[in-house]
Amino acid sequence: MHVMDRLYESVSRKGIVCLGLDTSLDYIPQELKNSFHNIEDLLFEFNKKIIDATEDKVACFKVQIAYYEALGLSGLKAYSRTLKYLKEIGSITIADIKRGDIADTARMYARAHFQGDFEADIITLSPYMGLDSIEPYVDYLKNKEKGVFVLVRTSNKGAEDIQYIEHAQGEKIYNTVGKKIQKLGEGLIGEKGYSSIGAVIGCTHVEEAKQIREELNSTFFLIPGYGAQGGKAEDVALYLKAGNGGVVNSSRKILLAYKERNSRDFALCAREEAIRMNDEIMSKITT
């Protein structure tokens, strides 16, 4: 099944939340730490409890590889086990790896993250070396089961340093990047109208929201910036199409909800926060 059709249907059934498993050791309750004596098992058990508590209320899970790489081989084993567990239960996985190299190096990254121990359904890529940093992944997209989210306009303040520069043709760089990746994905569109090549579009700059959504009409969005970075529910709603066409990432806000609620049940609190977040955003959908 086309990967973005799967994601579209998952949003329809479960809501627009993409739960980010950016699992830092600091996020894990001491009580759970006391029960495990190695990092691999501790990380995986925390992730598994979060997944089991939220899987029916989130559209997909995004696993940020840096949090696991930083812990060496034990961390990467937990990363692999997390992805494999999500695949076993049928959840959609986004590996947040942000690769951006070319030629044979890019093909090796594709092989590493679309098959084998680190296999995911969708990966994140940076296009700022040019489209030849995206093209080596396309063979994996043609089978319709894999996808990519390409950085177009990100949610961080530094996005203005490069992405907002106006070039000789009179438009901003992120506009050009968005149009180029939509063009590249024209032959990869599923039944729901979205390409296997999606875009990372931050919700912290709302002035251009309507234009971006209209221009990239066949591009599914991964939307960061909600919550801690300042994006509001009404801002997020502008990047969706009738409540679909995108997923909204939240990591710390969900993983650490138990601390805000002063509760020992971190998994239940994560579930409650995912539901609250989805309900808040969907309440702002007007069309």
Task: Return the HEC string of the chain.
Answer: CCHHHHHHHHHHHHCCEEEECCCCHHHCCHHHHCCCCCHHHHHHHHHHHHHHHHCCCCCEEEEECHHHHCCHHHHHHHHHHHHHHHHHCCCCEEEEEEECCCHHHHHHHHHHHHCHHHCCCEEEECCCCCHHHCHHHHHHHCCCCCEEEEEEECCCCCHHHHCCCECCCCCEHHHHHHHHHHHHCHHHECCCCCECEEEEECCCCCCCHHHHHHHCCCCCEEECCECCCCECHHHHHCCCECCECEEEEECHHHHCHHHHCCCCCHHHHHHHHHHHHHHHHHCCCCC
Known active-site residue 232: no
Q: How far is CA 127 from the centre of its chain?
A: 16
Check 98, 144, 232, 241 and give the catalytic one.
98
- The residues annotated with a catalytic role in the active site are 98
